[in-house]
Amino acid sequence: MKPMIAVLIAAALTLAGCNTVEGLGQDIEKAGDAIQKSTK
């Protein structure tokens, strides 16, 4: 559970730093990849 919380915090910080819609899409994709890796 703790790794999942860390991933969510990292995703929130990443999303907060994006400036464009394209950047937002890339950030969401990276967050999804991180979540998939944490579940394996």
pLDDT, tens only, 10-40: 877 776 665 666 677 787 888 888 888 887 6
**pLDDT at position 6, please?**
85
**pLDDT at position 33, please?**
86
**pLDDT at position 18, please?**
57
pTM above 0.75, yes or no: no
**pLDDT at position 13, please?**
73
**pLDDT at position 10, please?**
81
Find where tokens 């860390």 sit.
6
Find where tokens 């394209």 sit.
22
Distance CA 16, CA 2 (A): 21
Do residues 7 and 38 lie in contact, with contact meaning Cβ atoms separated by under 8 Å?
yes
